[in-house]
A and B are shown apart, each in its own frame.
Chain A
Amino acid sequence: MTGHQVNTSPLPSQGGACPERVEGGRGAGDRRAFLAWLTRGSLATIAALALGQVARFISFAPAAEDQTAIPVGQPEQYAAGTLTYVEPARAYIGRDGAGLYALDAVCTHLGCLVAQQAGGGFACPCHGSRFAADGQAQNGPASQALRHLALNLNQDGQMVVDRSRPVTPATRLAEDS
Protein backbone atom coordinates (compact mmCIF):
# COMPACT_ATOMS: atom_id res chain seq x y z
CA MET A 1 0.00 0.00 0.00
CA THR A 2 3.03 2.24 -0.29
CA GLY A 3 1.90 3.23 -3.74
CA HIS A 4 -1.07 5.00 -2.23
CA GLN A 5 -0.87 7.68 -4.82
CA VAL A 6 -3.59 10.18 -5.40
CA ASN A 7 -3.85 11.87 -8.71
CA THR A 8 -2.84 15.37 -7.85
CA SER A 9 -1.99 16.70 -11.25
CA PRO A 10 -2.21 20.46 -10.93
CA LEU A 11 -5.13 22.26 -12.41
CA PRO A 12 -4.41 24.03 -15.66
CA SER A 13 -3.23 27.52 -14.98
CA GLN A 14 -6.16 29.85 -14.57
CA GLY A 15 -4.25 32.95 -15.52
CA GLY A 16 -5.66 35.16 -12.78
CA ALA A 17 -8.48 37.66 -13.06
CA CYS A 18 -11.17 37.71 -15.67
CA PRO A 19 -10.15 40.60 -17.94
CA GLU A 20 -6.89 38.90 -18.92
CA ARG A 21 -8.75 36.06 -20.52
CA VAL A 22 -10.97 38.34 -22.50
CA GLU A 23 -9.99 38.64 -26.08
CA GLY A 24 -12.38 41.37 -26.99
CA GLY A 25 -9.87 44.06 -26.19
CA ARG A 26 -10.13 47.06 -23.89
CA GLY A 27 -13.40 47.64 -22.07
CA ALA A 28 -14.57 44.01 -22.23
CA GLY A 29 -13.93 43.54 -18.49
CA ASP A 30 -15.82 46.70 -17.70
CA ARG A 31 -18.71 45.58 -19.83
CA ARG A 32 -18.80 42.20 -18.11
CA ALA A 33 -18.76 43.79 -14.65
CA PHE A 34 -21.48 46.19 -15.69
CA LEU A 35 -23.69 43.40 -17.04
CA ALA A 36 -23.18 41.37 -13.86
CA TRP A 37 -24.11 44.40 -11.80
CA LEU A 38 -27.15 45.00 -14.01
CA THR A 39 -28.27 41.37 -13.63
CA ARG A 40 -27.97 41.40 -9.86
CA GLY A 41 -29.65 44.77 -9.64
CA SER A 42 -32.58 43.63 -11.78
CA LEU A 43 -33.04 40.46 -9.77
CA ALA A 44 -32.92 42.39 -6.48
CA THR A 45 -35.44 44.92 -7.79
CA ILE A 46 -37.81 42.20 -8.94
CA ALA A 47 -37.48 40.42 -5.59
CA ALA A 48 -38.16 43.63 -3.66
CA LEU A 49 -41.21 44.43 -5.79
CA ALA A 50 -42.53 40.89 -5.40
CA LEU A 51 -42.03 40.96 -1.63
CA GLY A 52 -43.93 44.24 -1.46
CA GLN A 53 -46.85 42.62 -3.26
CA VAL A 54 -46.68 39.61 -0.95
CA ALA A 55 -46.96 42.01 1.99
CA ARG A 56 -49.99 43.62 0.35
CA PHE A 57 -51.51 40.20 -0.31
CA ILE A 58 -51.25 39.00 3.28
CA SER A 59 -52.48 42.37 4.58
CA PHE A 60 -55.75 41.88 2.73
CA ALA A 61 -58.62 41.20 5.08
CA PRO A 62 -62.13 40.32 3.90
CA ALA A 63 -64.93 42.59 5.07
CA ALA A 64 -65.57 41.89 8.74
CA GLU A 65 -68.93 41.52 10.45
CA ASP A 66 -70.61 44.84 11.13
CA GLN A 67 -69.75 45.84 14.68
CA THR A 68 -71.48 49.21 14.61
CA ALA A 69 -75.08 48.19 15.28
CA ILE A 70 -75.38 45.01 17.36
CA PRO A 71 -78.99 44.61 18.54
CA VAL A 72 -79.38 44.12 22.28
CA GLY A 73 -83.19 44.24 22.73
CA GLN A 74 -85.73 46.80 24.00
CA PRO A 75 -84.96 49.35 26.74
CA GLU A 76 -87.84 47.96 28.85
CA GLN A 77 -86.01 44.63 29.14
CA TYR A 78 -83.45 46.19 31.46
CA ALA A 79 -84.81 47.08 34.91
CA ALA A 80 -83.33 49.80 37.09
CA GLY A 81 -80.28 48.74 39.06
CA THR A 82 -79.49 45.71 36.86
CA LEU A 83 -76.40 44.84 34.89
CA THR A 84 -76.74 42.17 32.18
CA TYR A 85 -74.11 40.57 29.98
CA VAL A 86 -75.22 40.42 26.33
CA GLU A 87 -73.24 37.87 24.32
CA PRO A 88 -73.51 39.19 20.75
CA ALA A 89 -72.34 42.64 21.89
CA ARG A 90 -69.65 41.25 24.25
CA ALA A 91 -70.78 44.04 26.61
CA TYR A 92 -72.69 44.61 29.84
CA ILE A 93 -75.93 46.59 29.50
CA GLY A 94 -76.76 48.39 32.74
CA ARG A 95 -79.37 50.80 33.99
CA ASP A 96 -78.69 53.16 36.88
CA GLY A 97 -80.44 56.30 38.12
CA ALA A 98 -79.28 58.28 35.10
CA GLY A 99 -80.31 55.75 32.45
CA LEU A 100 -79.04 52.92 30.21
CA TYR A 101 -75.40 52.41 29.29
CA ALA A 102 -73.19 49.79 27.61
CA LEU A 103 -69.88 48.75 29.22
CA ASP A 104 -67.42 46.74 27.13
CA ALA A 105 -66.61 43.38 28.74
CA VAL A 106 -63.29 43.06 26.88
CA CYS A 107 -60.44 43.51 29.34
CA THR A 108 -58.11 46.35 28.36
CA HIS A 109 -55.09 44.24 29.31
CA LEU A 110 -55.10 41.30 26.87
CA GLY A 111 -58.66 40.98 25.63
CA CYS A 112 -60.30 38.42 27.95
CA LEU A 113 -63.92 38.94 29.07
CA VAL A 114 -64.27 40.38 32.56
CA ALA A 115 -66.77 38.84 34.98
CA GLN A 116 -69.08 40.59 37.44
CA GLN A 117 -68.03 40.28 41.04
CA ALA A 118 -70.31 39.76 44.00
CA GLY A 119 -69.39 43.02 45.68
CA GLY A 120 -69.82 45.06 42.48
CA GLY A 121 -67.16 45.76 39.92
CA PHE A 122 -65.45 43.36 37.53
CA ALA A 123 -62.58 40.90 37.59
CA CYS A 124 -60.58 39.52 34.68
CA PRO A 125 -60.11 35.75 34.87
CA CYS A 126 -56.89 35.81 32.83
CA HIS A 127 -54.41 37.91 34.78
CA GLY A 128 -56.45 39.09 37.75
CA SER A 129 -57.17 42.72 36.82
CA ARG A 130 -59.93 44.42 38.85
CA PHE A 131 -62.29 47.14 37.65
CA ALA A 132 -64.82 49.30 39.51
CA ALA A 133 -68.51 49.23 38.62
CA ASP A 134 -68.02 52.26 36.33
CA GLY A 135 -65.14 50.47 34.55
CA GLN A 136 -62.23 52.29 36.19
CA ALA A 137 -59.10 50.12 36.56
CA GLN A 138 -58.47 49.43 40.24
CA ASN A 139 -55.95 46.66 40.53
CA GLY A 140 -53.80 44.25 38.63
CA PRO A 141 -51.96 44.53 35.35
CA ALA A 142 -54.66 46.45 33.43
CA SER A 143 -54.10 50.20 33.62
CA GLN A 144 -56.88 51.45 31.36
CA ALA A 145 -60.58 51.60 32.23
CA LEU A 146 -63.12 49.35 30.51
CA ARG A 147 -64.62 51.17 27.55
CA HIS A 148 -68.13 52.58 27.59
CA LEU A 149 -69.71 51.92 24.20
CA ALA A 150 -72.20 54.00 22.24
CA LEU A 151 -75.77 52.80 22.81
CA ASN A 152 -78.43 53.95 20.35
CA LEU A 153 -82.03 53.30 19.42
CA ASN A 154 -82.68 52.17 15.86
CA GLN A 155 -85.79 52.91 13.80
CA ASP A 156 -87.70 49.96 15.28
CA GLY A 157 -87.12 51.16 18.84
CA GLN A 158 -84.53 48.44 19.38
CA MET A 159 -81.28 49.25 21.21
CA VAL A 160 -78.02 48.74 19.31
CA VAL A 161 -74.44 48.79 20.58
CA ASP A 162 -71.70 50.37 18.46
CA ARG A 163 -68.48 48.57 19.37
CA SER A 164 -66.43 50.86 17.18
CA ARG A 165 -67.35 54.02 19.11
CA PRO A 166 -66.27 54.46 22.73
CA VAL A 167 -68.05 57.16 24.73
CA THR A 168 -67.48 58.91 28.06
CA PRO A 169 -68.57 57.02 31.19
CA ALA A 170 -71.30 59.55 31.90
CA THR A 171 -73.08 58.94 28.58
CA ARG A 172 -76.57 57.45 28.85
CA LEU A 173 -79.11 56.38 26.24
CA ALA A 174 -81.49 59.21 25.38
CA GLU A 175 -84.89 57.69 26.15
CA ASP A 176 -87.78 59.91 25.21
CA SER A 177 -91.01 58.19 25.88
Chain B
Amino acid sequence: MGKLDRQRVKESSLQAVKPAKASIPEYDSSERSAVMVHRRPNFFYHLHPPTLPARESRFGYTFGLGGISLLLFLALGVTGVLEMFIYLPTLADAAASVRQIAYLAPFGWLLRNMHYWAGQMMVGTVILHMARVVLSGGYKGRRSNWLIGMALLALTLLLDFTGYVLRWDQDTAWALVMGTNLVNAIPGIGPALYRLLIGGQTVGQATLLRFYAWHVLGLALVATVLIVWHSFRVRRDGGISHRKSAPGPAPRVGREQLVRTEAIAALLTLAALVGLSVLVNAPLGPAANLSVLMTAEPRAPWFFLWIQELLRSAPVFLAGVLAPLAVFTLLSVLPYALDRGPAGVGEWFNRPGRLAQGVFLALVLAVIALTARGLLR
Protein backbone atom coordinates (compact mmCIF):
# COMPACT_ATOMS: atom_id res chain seq x y z
CA MET B 1 0.00 0.00 0.00
CA GLY B 2 1.53 3.30 -1.07
CA LYS B 3 1.83 6.44 1.00
CA LEU B 4 -0.88 8.25 -0.90
CA ASP B 5 -3.31 5.37 -0.53
CA ARG B 6 -2.65 5.29 3.14
CA GLN B 7 -3.33 8.97 3.52
CA ARG B 8 -6.63 8.67 1.71
CA VAL B 9 -7.63 5.84 3.97
CA LYS B 10 -6.86 7.95 7.03
CA GLU B 11 -8.92 10.83 5.74
CA SER B 12 -11.85 8.71 4.87
CA SER B 13 -11.83 6.97 8.22
CA LEU B 14 -12.30 10.37 9.80
CA GLN B 15 -15.79 10.35 8.29
CA ALA B 16 -16.36 6.89 9.71
CA VAL B 17 -15.78 5.50 6.24
CA LYS B 18 -14.18 2.12 6.37
CA PRO B 19 -11.62 1.35 3.68
CA ALA B 20 -11.94 -1.96 1.92
CA LYS B 21 -8.32 -2.96 2.20
CA ALA B 22 -7.61 -1.90 5.76
CA SER B 23 -6.07 -4.57 7.90
CA ILE B 24 -8.32 -5.78 10.68
CA PRO B 25 -7.21 -3.67 13.68
CA GLU B 26 -7.74 -0.46 11.74
CA TYR B 27 -11.49 -0.36 11.55
CA ASP B 28 -12.41 -1.24 15.09
CA SER B 29 -14.11 1.73 16.61
CA SER B 30 -15.24 0.38 19.95
CA GLU B 31 -13.49 -1.36 22.76
CA ARG B 32 -15.68 -4.34 22.28
CA SER B 33 -14.58 -5.00 18.74
CA ALA B 34 -11.01 -4.25 19.70
CA VAL B 35 -11.17 -7.23 21.99
CA MET B 36 -12.79 -9.37 19.35
CA VAL B 37 -10.47 -8.75 16.45
CA HIS B 38 -7.45 -10.06 18.29
CA ARG B 39 -9.11 -13.37 18.84
CA ARG B 40 -8.97 -16.00 16.18
CA PRO B 41 -12.20 -15.55 14.23
CA ASN B 42 -14.66 -18.35 15.04
CA PHE B 43 -16.67 -20.32 12.51
CA PHE B 44 -19.48 -17.76 12.24
CA TYR B 45 -17.04 -14.94 11.51
CA HIS B 46 -15.27 -17.16 9.09
CA LEU B 47 -18.43 -17.51 6.98
CA HIS B 48 -18.18 -13.83 6.12
CA PRO B 49 -15.56 -11.71 4.42
CA PRO B 50 -13.53 -9.54 6.85
CA THR B 51 -15.43 -6.41 5.84
CA LEU B 52 -18.77 -5.88 4.13
CA PRO B 53 -20.52 -2.98 2.40
CA ALA B 54 -22.11 -1.00 5.23
CA ARG B 55 -25.34 -0.08 3.49
CA GLU B 56 -26.21 -3.57 2.32
CA SER B 57 -25.24 -5.21 5.60
CA ARG B 58 -27.93 -3.36 7.46
CA PHE B 59 -30.93 -5.43 8.52
CA GLY B 60 -33.15 -2.93 6.74
CA TYR B 61 -31.73 -3.92 3.36
CA THR B 62 -31.95 -7.75 3.43
CA PHE B 63 -34.23 -8.21 6.45
CA GLY B 64 -32.03 -11.23 7.07
CA LEU B 65 -34.48 -13.32 5.02
CA GLY B 66 -31.93 -15.67 3.50
CA GLY B 67 -30.27 -16.33 6.83
CA ILE B 68 -33.61 -16.77 8.60
CA SER B 69 -34.64 -19.32 5.95
CA LEU B 70 -31.39 -21.19 6.55
CA LEU B 71 -31.98 -21.16 10.31
CA LEU B 72 -35.52 -22.51 9.83
CA PHE B 73 -34.15 -25.23 7.54
CA LEU B 74 -31.70 -26.26 10.27
CA ALA B 75 -34.50 -26.23 12.85
CA LEU B 76 -36.56 -28.42 10.52
CA GLY B 77 -33.65 -30.84 10.25
CA VAL B 78 -33.23 -31.14 14.02
CA THR B 79 -36.93 -31.47 14.86
CA GLY B 80 -37.48 -33.74 11.85
CA VAL B 81 -34.80 -36.23 12.86
CA LEU B 82 -36.32 -36.39 16.36
CA GLU B 83 -39.77 -37.04 14.90
CA MET B 84 -38.31 -39.92 12.88
CA PHE B 85 -37.61 -41.74 16.15
CA ILE B 86 -41.35 -42.27 16.60
CA TYR B 87 -43.04 -41.79 13.23
CA LEU B 88 -43.99 -44.94 11.27
CA PRO B 89 -44.65 -44.49 7.55
CA THR B 90 -47.25 -47.27 7.23
CA LEU B 91 -50.95 -47.00 6.42
CA ALA B 92 -51.87 -48.74 9.65
CA ASP B 93 -49.57 -46.83 12.00
CA ALA B 94 -48.86 -43.42 10.50
CA ALA B 95 -51.78 -41.54 12.03
CA ALA B 96 -51.35 -43.35 15.37
CA SER B 97 -47.63 -42.59 15.53
CA VAL B 98 -48.30 -38.91 14.84
CA ARG B 99 -50.66 -39.00 17.83
CA GLN B 100 -47.93 -40.59 19.93
CA ILE B 101 -45.66 -37.68 19.07
CA ALA B 102 -48.40 -35.12 19.64
CA TYR B 103 -50.03 -36.49 22.80
CA LEU B 104 -47.80 -39.02 24.56
CA ALA B 105 -44.11 -38.33 24.06
CA PRO B 106 -42.78 -35.69 26.51
CA PHE B 107 -42.57 -32.37 24.65
CA GLY B 108 -43.54 -34.21 21.48
CA TRP B 109 -46.30 -31.65 20.93
CA LEU B 110 -43.73 -28.86 20.99
CA LEU B 111 -41.44 -30.73 18.63
CA ARG B 112 -44.23 -31.40 16.15
CA ASN B 113 -45.55 -27.85 16.37
CA MET B 114 -42.06 -26.46 15.84
CA HIS B 115 -41.53 -28.68 12.81
CA TYR B 116 -44.89 -27.61 11.40
CA TRP B 117 -44.48 -23.91 12.05
CA ALA B 118 -40.87 -23.80 10.87
CA GLY B 119 -42.07 -25.35 7.60
CA GLN B 120 -44.85 -22.78 7.23
CA MET B 121 -42.56 -19.90 8.14
CA MET B 122 -39.89 -21.06 5.73
CA VAL B 123 -42.31 -20.94 2.79
CA GLY B 124 -43.00 -17.34 3.78
CA THR B 125 -39.39 -16.30 4.31
CA VAL B 126 -38.09 -17.81 1.05
CA ILE B 127 -40.85 -16.05 -0.91
CA LEU B 128 -40.07 -12.75 0.85
CA HIS B 129 -36.36 -13.36 0.22
CA MET B 130 -37.16 -13.78 -3.46
CA ALA B 131 -39.22 -10.58 -3.42
CA ARG B 132 -36.34 -8.66 -1.80
CA VAL B 133 -33.91 -9.88 -4.45
CA VAL B 134 -36.20 -8.92 -7.33
CA LEU B 135 -37.22 -5.53 -5.96
CA SER B 136 -33.69 -4.47 -5.00
CA GLY B 137 -32.07 -5.81 -8.17
CA GLY B 138 -30.04 -8.30 -6.14
CA TYR B 139 -29.80 -10.80 -8.99
CA LYS B 140 -28.05 -8.41 -11.34
CA GLY B 141 -24.66 -9.69 -12.42
CA ARG B 142 -25.20 -13.00 -10.62
CA ARG B 143 -28.02 -14.67 -12.47
CA SER B 144 -26.89 -18.26 -11.95
CA ASN B 145 -27.48 -17.91 -8.23
CA TRP B 146 -31.01 -16.73 -8.96
CA LEU B 147 -31.65 -20.07 -10.69
CA ILE B 148 -30.29 -21.98 -7.69
CA GLY B 149 -32.65 -19.92 -5.57
CA MET B 150 -35.58 -20.84 -7.81
CA ALA B 151 -34.69 -24.53 -7.45
CA LEU B 152 -34.62 -24.02 -3.67
CA LEU B 153 -38.08 -22.42 -3.78
CA ALA B 154 -39.42 -25.46 -5.64
CA LEU B 155 -37.70 -27.80 -3.16
CA THR B 156 -39.12 -25.89 -0.19
CA LEU B 157 -42.65 -26.26 -1.56
CA LEU B 158 -42.14 -29.95 -2.38
CA LEU B 159 -40.66 -30.60 1.07
CA ASP B 160 -43.67 -28.92 2.66
CA PHE B 161 -46.11 -30.88 0.52
CA THR B 162 -44.44 -34.25 1.14
CA GLY B 163 -44.34 -33.49 4.87
CA TYR B 164 -48.00 -32.45 4.85
CA VAL B 165 -48.89 -35.86 3.41
CA LEU B 166 -47.03 -37.76 6.16
CA ARG B 167 -49.56 -36.53 8.72
CA TRP B 168 -51.93 -38.99 7.03
CA ASP B 169 -55.24 -37.55 8.15
CA GLN B 170 -58.29 -37.12 5.93
CA ASP B 171 -57.30 -33.68 4.63
CA THR B 172 -53.72 -34.48 3.75
CA ALA B 173 -54.45 -37.88 2.22
CA TRP B 174 -57.02 -36.35 -0.13
CA ALA B 175 -54.61 -33.56 -0.97
CA LEU B 176 -52.19 -36.33 -1.93
CA VAL B 177 -54.80 -37.99 -4.16
CA MET B 178 -55.55 -34.71 -5.91
CA GLY B 179 -51.93 -33.62 -6.19
CA THR B 180 -50.74 -36.86 -7.72
CA ASN B 181 -53.71 -36.95 -10.11
CA LEU B 182 -52.43 -33.68 -11.54
CA VAL B 183 -49.38 -35.58 -12.76
CA ASN B 184 -51.72 -38.16 -14.27
CA ALA B 185 -53.21 -35.43 -16.46
CA ILE B 186 -49.94 -34.73 -18.30
CA PRO B 187 -50.38 -35.97 -21.87
CA GLY B 188 -48.07 -38.81 -22.85
CA ILE B 189 -45.76 -39.39 -19.91
CA GLY B 190 -48.40 -38.57 -17.25
CA PRO B 191 -49.61 -42.08 -16.35
CA ALA B 192 -46.06 -43.51 -16.21
CA LEU B 193 -44.88 -40.61 -14.06
CA TYR B 194 -47.93 -41.06 -11.84
CA ARG B 195 -47.13 -44.73 -11.23
CA LEU B 196 -43.52 -43.80 -10.48
CA LEU B 197 -44.64 -41.16 -8.01
CA ILE B 198 -47.18 -43.24 -6.06
CA GLY B 199 -45.46 -46.60 -6.50
CA GLY B 200 -48.26 -48.53 -8.16
CA GLN B 201 -51.72 -48.10 -9.64
CA THR B 202 -53.49 -46.59 -6.65
CA VAL B 203 -52.48 -44.44 -3.71
CA GLY B 204 -51.51 -46.75 -0.87
CA GLN B 205 -48.68 -48.05 1.30
CA ALA B 206 -46.05 -47.62 -1.41
CA THR B 207 -47.11 -43.99 -1.84
CA LEU B 208 -46.74 -43.13 1.82
CA LEU B 209 -43.32 -44.80 1.99
CA ARG B 210 -42.13 -43.02 -1.15
CA PHE B 211 -43.23 -39.64 0.13
CA TYR B 212 -41.52 -40.37 3.43
CA ALA B 213 -38.25 -41.22 1.66
CA TRP B 214 -38.45 -38.09 -0.50
CA HIS B 215 -39.26 -35.93 2.51
CA VAL B 216 -36.66 -37.08 5.01
CA LEU B 217 -33.77 -37.66 2.64
CA GLY B 218 -34.29 -37.40 -1.11
CA LEU B 219 -35.44 -33.79 -1.27
CA ALA B 220 -33.76 -32.70 1.95
CA LEU B 221 -30.35 -33.84 0.72
CA VAL B 222 -30.68 -31.99 -2.58
CA ALA B 223 -31.87 -28.91 -0.71
CA THR B 224 -28.87 -29.07 1.63
CA VAL B 225 -26.44 -29.24 -1.28
CA LEU B 226 -28.17 -26.37 -3.07
CA ILE B 227 -28.28 -24.21 0.08
CA VAL B 228 -24.52 -24.63 0.51
CA TRP B 229 -23.99 -23.83 -3.17
CA HIS B 230 -26.36 -20.83 -2.98
CA SER B 231 -24.45 -19.37 0.00
CA PHE B 232 -21.08 -20.13 -1.56
CA ARG B 233 -22.11 -18.30 -4.74
CA VAL B 234 -22.90 -15.16 -2.73
CA ARG B 235 -19.29 -15.11 -1.47
CA ARG B 236 -17.96 -16.05 -4.90
CA ASP B 237 -19.95 -13.28 -6.59
CA GLY B 238 -18.35 -10.69 -4.32
CA GLY B 239 -20.46 -10.83 -1.18
CA ILE B 240 -23.95 -9.46 -0.70
CA SER B 241 -25.18 -7.62 -3.80
CA HIS B 242 -24.43 -3.93 -3.34
CA ARG B 243 -24.87 -0.60 -5.03
CA LYS B 244 -22.11 0.39 -7.40
CA SER B 245 -23.32 3.79 -8.57
CA ALA B 246 -21.87 5.91 -5.75
CA PRO B 247 -18.42 7.34 -6.61
CA GLY B 248 -15.43 6.54 -4.43
CA PRO B 249 -15.04 3.67 -2.02
CA ALA B 250 -18.30 2.64 -0.37
CA PRO B 251 -18.37 2.59 3.44
CA ARG B 252 -17.71 -0.82 4.88
CA VAL B 253 -18.23 -2.45 8.26
CA GLY B 254 -16.44 -5.28 9.97
CA ARG B 255 -17.96 -8.71 9.90
CA GLU B 256 -18.44 -8.90 13.67
CA GLN B 257 -21.14 -6.28 13.31
CA LEU B 258 -23.01 -8.44 10.81
CA VAL B 259 -22.53 -11.56 12.93
CA ARG B 260 -24.03 -9.68 15.87
CA THR B 261 -27.07 -8.66 13.79
CA GLU B 262 -27.41 -12.22 12.56
CA ALA B 263 -27.28 -13.58 16.09
CA ILE B 264 -30.05 -11.21 17.17
CA ALA B 265 -32.17 -12.12 14.13
CA ALA B 266 -31.62 -15.82 14.84
CA LEU B 267 -32.66 -15.47 18.47
CA LEU B 268 -35.78 -13.48 17.55
CA THR B 269 -36.70 -16.03 14.88
CA LEU B 270 -36.32 -18.91 17.32
CA ALA B 271 -38.36 -17.00 19.90
CA ALA B 272 -41.12 -16.44 17.35
CA LEU B 273 -41.00 -20.12 16.35
CA VAL B 274 -41.21 -21.41 19.90
CA GLY B 275 -43.83 -18.84 20.83
CA LEU B 276 -46.05 -19.76 17.90
CA SER B 277 -45.54 -23.47 18.62
CA VAL B 278 -46.57 -23.05 22.25
CA LEU B 279 -49.66 -21.03 21.36
CA VAL B 280 -50.99 -22.73 18.23
CA ASN B 281 -51.11 -26.47 17.63
CA ALA B 282 -50.34 -27.95 14.24
CA PRO B 283 -53.54 -29.31 12.68
CA LEU B 284 -54.35 -33.00 13.11
CA GLY B 285 -57.55 -34.51 11.71
CA PRO B 286 -59.09 -37.98 11.85
CA ALA B 287 -56.90 -40.77 10.44
CA ALA B 288 -57.02 -41.09 6.67
CA ASN B 289 -59.37 -43.57 5.07
CA LEU B 290 -59.67 -43.08 1.34
CA SER B 291 -62.82 -45.23 1.16
CA VAL B 292 -64.94 -43.15 3.53
CA LEU B 293 -67.09 -40.46 1.93
CA MET B 294 -65.82 -36.98 2.73
CA THR B 295 -67.76 -34.87 5.13
CA ALA B 296 -66.00 -31.60 4.36
CA GLU B 297 -64.14 -30.24 1.39
CA PRO B 298 -60.49 -31.26 1.61
CA ARG B 299 -58.23 -28.29 1.21
CA ALA B 300 -54.82 -28.04 -0.40
CA PRO B 301 -52.06 -26.65 1.85
CA TRP B 302 -52.27 -22.86 1.83
CA PHE B 303 -49.36 -22.37 -0.56
CA PHE B 304 -51.18 -24.50 -3.18
CA LEU B 305 -54.65 -23.01 -2.62
CA TRP B 306 -54.24 -20.79 -5.67
CA ILE B 307 -53.81 -23.90 -7.83
CA GLN B 308 -56.89 -25.47 -6.25
CA GLU B 309 -58.84 -22.31 -7.15
CA LEU B 310 -57.65 -22.48 -10.75
CA LEU B 311 -58.67 -26.15 -10.89
CA ARG B 312 -62.29 -25.25 -10.21
CA SER B 313 -62.70 -23.54 -13.52
CA ALA B 314 -59.97 -24.72 -15.90
CA PRO B 315 -58.96 -28.11 -17.33
CA VAL B 316 -56.67 -30.14 -15.08
CA PHE B 317 -53.57 -30.06 -17.27
CA LEU B 318 -53.87 -26.34 -17.86
CA ALA B 319 -54.66 -25.28 -14.29
CA GLY B 320 -52.72 -27.89 -12.35
CA VAL B 321 -49.59 -28.36 -14.44
CA LEU B 322 -49.12 -25.67 -17.08
CA ALA B 323 -50.12 -22.67 -14.96
CA PRO B 324 -47.74 -23.41 -12.04
CA LEU B 325 -44.98 -24.28 -14.52
CA ALA B 326 -45.58 -21.02 -16.38
CA VAL B 327 -45.38 -18.97 -13.18
CA PHE B 328 -42.19 -20.78 -12.17
CA THR B 329 -40.61 -20.36 -15.60
CA LEU B 330 -41.53 -16.70 -15.82
CA LEU B 331 -39.92 -16.04 -12.42
CA SER B 332 -36.82 -18.02 -13.41
CA VAL B 333 -36.19 -16.01 -16.57
CA LEU B 334 -36.76 -12.57 -15.01
CA PRO B 335 -33.04 -11.64 -14.98
CA TYR B 336 -32.51 -13.30 -18.38
CA ALA B 337 -35.42 -11.79 -20.28
CA LEU B 338 -36.70 -8.66 -18.57
CA ASP B 339 -33.95 -7.32 -16.31
CA ARG B 340 -30.68 -8.17 -18.02
CA GLY B 341 -28.44 -5.20 -17.34
CA PRO B 342 -26.18 -4.70 -14.34
CA ALA B 343 -27.44 -1.15 -13.66
CA GLY B 344 -29.48 -0.60 -10.53
CA VAL B 345 -28.06 -3.41 -8.46
CA GLY B 346 -28.75 -2.95 -4.78
CA GLU B 347 -31.34 -0.21 -5.29
CA TRP B 348 -34.90 -0.74 -4.22
CA PHE B 349 -37.30 -0.33 -7.16
CA ASN B 350 -34.42 0.57 -9.47
CA ARG B 351 -35.48 2.04 -12.79
CA PRO B 352 -33.90 -0.47 -15.22
CA GLY B 353 -35.69 -3.30 -13.44
CA ARG B 354 -39.15 -1.76 -13.39
CA LEU B 355 -40.60 -4.17 -15.95
CA ALA B 356 -39.34 -7.24 -14.08
CA GLN B 357 -40.57 -5.79 -10.78
CA GLY B 358 -43.98 -5.10 -12.34
CA VAL B 359 -44.29 -8.64 -13.72
CA PHE B 360 -43.19 -10.07 -10.38
CA LEU B 361 -45.67 -7.99 -8.38
CA ALA B 362 -48.49 -8.80 -10.82
CA LEU B 363 -47.80 -12.53 -10.43
CA VAL B 364 -47.64 -12.23 -6.66
CA LEU B 365 -50.88 -10.26 -6.53
CA ALA B 366 -52.66 -12.79 -8.75
CA VAL B 367 -51.50 -15.68 -6.55
CA ILE B 368 -52.48 -13.80 -3.38
CA ALA B 369 -55.94 -12.98 -4.80
CA LEU B 370 -56.59 -16.62 -5.74
CA THR B 371 -55.28 -17.79 -2.34
CA ALA B 372 -57.57 -15.35 -0.55
CA ARG B 373 -60.53 -16.60 -2.58
CA GLY B 374 -59.65 -20.14 -1.60
CA LEU B 375 -59.28 -19.22 2.07
CA LEU B 376 -62.61 -17.39 2.17
CA ARG B 377 -64.53 -20.27 0.65
Interface residues of A (CB under 8 A from B): 1-2, 4, 58-59, 61-62, 64-65, 67, 85, 87-88, 90, 105, 109-113, 115, 125-128, 140-141, 143
Contacts and interface: CB of A to CB of B under 8 A. Distances in A.
Nearest to A61: B200
A74 to B, nearest CB: 20
B2 A126 contact: no
B296 A110 contact: no
B206 A1 contact: no
Contact of A59 (B196, B312, B315, B316): B196
B121 to A, nearest CB: 28
B294 A115 contact: yes
Contacts of B20: none
Interface string B1-43: 1110010000000000000000000000000000000000000
A110 B182 contact: yes
Given A64-B200, A64-B202, 17 more contacts: A1-B6, A4-B1, A59-B195, A59-B196, A62-B206, A64-B201, A90-B290, A105-B293, A109-B316, A110-B181, A125-B294, A125-B296, A125-B297, A126-B174, A127-B312, A141-B313, A141-B315
A140 B312 contact: yes
Given A109-B316, A111-B181, A126-B174, A1 B196 contact: no
Main secondary structure of the interface of A (DSSP, over half): loop
Interface in B195-218: 195-196, 199-202, 204, 206
A150 to B, nearest CB: 17
Contacts of A61: 195, 199-201, 206
B365 to A, nearest CB: 23
21 contacts: A1-B6, A2-B3, A59-B195, A61-B199, A64-B200, A64-B204, A85-B293, A87-B291, A110-B181, A110-B316, A111-B178, A111-B181, A113-B292, A113-B293, A126-B174, A126-B178, A126-B298, A127-B308, A128-B312, A141-B313, A141-B316
Contacts of B293: 85, 105, 113, 115
A127 B174 CA distance: 12
Interface in B56-74: none
Nearest to A62: B206
A59 B193 CA distance: 9
Given A2-B3, A59-B196, A112 B177 contact: yes
Interface in B259-316: 290-294, 296-298, 308, 311-316
Size category of the binding interface on chain B: 20 to 34
A66 B291 CA distance: 15
A109 B317 CA distance: 11
A87 to B, nearest CB: 4
Q: Which of B6, B178, B296 has the most CB of A within 10 A?
A: B178
Nearest to A88: B291
A87 B3 contact: no
A127 B315 CA distance: 11
A113 B294 contact: yes
Nearest to A58: B196
A2 to B, nearest CB: 7
A85 B294 CA distance: 12
Contacts of B178: 110-112, 126
Nearest to B298: A126
A132 to B, nearest CB: 19
Contacts of B291: 87-88, 90
Contacts of B311: 109-110, 127, 141
B302 to A, nearest CB: 16
Contacts of A125: 294, 296-298
Contacts of B196: 58-59
Contacts of A2: 2-3
A1 B2 CA distance: 8
A110 B182 CA distance: 7
10 interchain residue pairs of minimum CB distance: A61-B200, A87-B291, A110-B178, A110-B181, A111-B177, A111-B181, A125-B297, A127-B312, A125-B294, A64-B200
A76 to B, nearest CB: 24
